[in-house]
Structure 1
Amino acid sequence: MEPPGAAAGLAPKRRGPGPAPPRMAEPRPLFDDTSGGAAPPPHGPARAYGAPPAAPPASSASRLPPPAAAFLAEPVSSLAAAYGSSLASQGRDIVDRNLDRLVPVGRLKYYFAVDTVYVGRKLGLLVCPFGHQDWQVRYQQDAPVAPRFDVNAPDLYIPAMAFITYLLVAGLALGTQNRFSPDSLGLQASSALAWLLLEVLAVLLSLYLVALPTDLTTIDLVAFAGYKYVGMILGLLSGLLFGSTGYFVVLSWCCLSIFVFMIRTLRLKLLSEAAAEGVPVRGAKNQLRMYLTMAVAAAQPLLMYWLTFHLLR
């Protein structure tokens, strides 16, 4: 007699122990899923239940050499980095070519060519110029020697350091009177810088209006105008230590010293061009040179007092 399931075409169920029948492969989908990631492989053995997922097949880019694979992986960023580096180098070359035209870097190096011996001698000359005899700037092959070799040569190191030190001492003076604030110190710095620029522009305008040829440059004028900060610092420090009496005594001495220093320095600078041109000593242009020298020298004590008297009360 046939089992009941034979008429329906069903396989009889095995009873008892024995190996389980093999599982049938999962049906293949009609369409590949391309919504995210790579499409599943078209063929391959089914993964057993609980087994770790199989590693994805290697792409074509991974089979390329490392440089080619890196370029294919990030082509846009590589091109952008290369273009940015090229653009930066071109911009640096343009700045280097035009910087010397706007700011004479080569000449600025000359004004900062100082050493400790020069700074000490120059400070002594600014404080006490009365015993100095030789004010002539030395030349070598038609060019002035570096400041470290000649105490008469102008420099920018002392004016720059003196300007910064003046601001620090001004902040100290305001702090001892409970008047210090960042705004007041910024106002003091901007005021001192504005007066310095105004002084240099006034001298340049005067030289242009009276048509006086001279070898003085704008940087020379900035250097000479910045030497007065040394006397201002000494005056402020004396005022902090000894009161108003010490301030007026030391500032008066420094004003007299800078006046003599400017007279002897600028007179030689302005008259050297006249002597080279063969201009008579009592000519009209020499009179204008002397008047201009006196005006610049007389402006130094006035500015020294104007920029320091309000800091000590």
Structure 2
Amino acid sequence: MDHSFATPSGFRQRKLPPRMRMRGSAADMTDPNQLFEDTSTNTGSPGMGYRASETQSADFTAQSLLSDPMSNLAMVYGSSLATQGKDMVDKRLYQFIPISKLKYYFAVDTMYVGKKLGLLVFPYMHENWEVRYQQDTPVAPRFDINAPDLYIPAMAFLTYILVAGLALGTQNRFSPEILGMQASSALIWLIIEVGVTLLSLYIMTVNTDLTTIDLIAFSGYKYVGMIIGVLSGLIFGRICYYLMLLWCCIAIVVFMVRSLRLKILSEAAAEGKLIQGAKNQLRMYLTITIAAVQPIVMYLLTYHLVR
């Protein structure tokens, strides 16, 4: 069927089918109340193309930088500087804090801690005070009760600070500033004690295998007796504090003398000399002095906590 019709000018114009006319009119119709153009029928978005081109540009830039020899050289040089800096920091840190050696002093277990605490409070019946060695290396503390460790001193120091805060709280004198001063005083006393001991060993030219960490460990054992004294005073009164502190002071003196005697006099014992010379007498006096300082510090850091 011919859908053309004649116009006044004489030309014939093709007439569209009804379906095509509706489809075209629907596409041309617009809602006058619509605020934005409907783009749901669009197959693509200009923004997507922009972002894709931007990603491609960034990838191209990164590839160009990586393919540049100067960029590769800069990356290698920066990595080398970072490695050298890390090695330098590790070396400097190891000079002051030997991390590998600290692992030895914390190699403890529950059985060792229990036995060592008993030795600190009752050192009178213990006979063998020598540290065991295996191929010129001292065995780990968990295998030898005579070996010094840092676990008990560190935990005892923290526990002492908590007990001091408890004692100050029962007296209505607690404050963060006072507790901080208490912790600072205990730490300063420990530093002074270890420093004076090292200086004395240097002046007397004593060749010993005692290290700074060993001295910190031995000096930190007194906090166990301080905790026992303060807790006894808080529970049973001031008289019990004096009695328990006196017991712990005597125990720590015996423990220090018997432990340090073998360390400080190890040179004379190795050479088979009798402890009769003036130099060995000074070493013995130094050992006794180090042990005698412990009760003084214990009393100064605890007497004001029990009233």
State the TM-score bracket (shorter-chain normalisation).
Answer: 0.7 to 0.9
Q: What is the deviation of 1:276?
A: 1.1
Q: Shift in Å at residue 209 of structure 1?
A: 1.3
Deviates more, 1:199-208 or 1:60-69: 60-69
Distance across 2 between alignment mates of 1:63 and 1:215: 67
What CA distance in whole angstroms lies between the structure 2 residues aligned with 1:105 and 1:57?
Answer: 55
Matches within 5 A, 1:1-313: 55=46, 58=49, 62=53, 68=59, 71=62, 86=79, 91-313=85-307
1:51 and 1:265 map into 2 onto residues whose CA distance is 91
Supply the RMSD in Å over aligned alpha carbons: 3.0
Following superposition, the deviation at residue 61 of structure 1 comes to 6.5
Counterpart-to-counterpart distance in 2, 1:63 and 1:261? 75
Distance 1:56-1:171 versus aligned 2 partners, 3 A rule: closer
Q: What is the CA-CA distance between 1:148 and the residue it aligns to? A: 0.4
Partner of 1:214, secondary structure, is coil
Change (3 A) 1:56 1:64: closer
User: Whole-Å Cα distance in 2 between the matches of residues 57 and 172 of structure 1?
Assistant: 66
Unaligned runs of 5+ in 2: 1-35
Letter in 2 for 1:207: L
Distance in 2, matches of 1:193 and 1:289, equals 26
Distance in 2 between residues matched to 1:64 and 1:177, nearest whole Å = 69
Separation in 2, partners of 1:294, 1:119: 26
Amino acid at match of 1:131: M
Question: CA separation in 1, counterparts of 2:143 and 2:37?
Answer: 88
Q: Which structure: greater helix fraction?
A: 2
Task: Measure, in 2, the Cα distance between the counterparts of 1:60 and 1:177.
Answer: 70
Provide the rounded CA distance (Å) in 1 between the counterparts of 2:51 and 2:210: 73
Amino acid at match of 1:166: Y
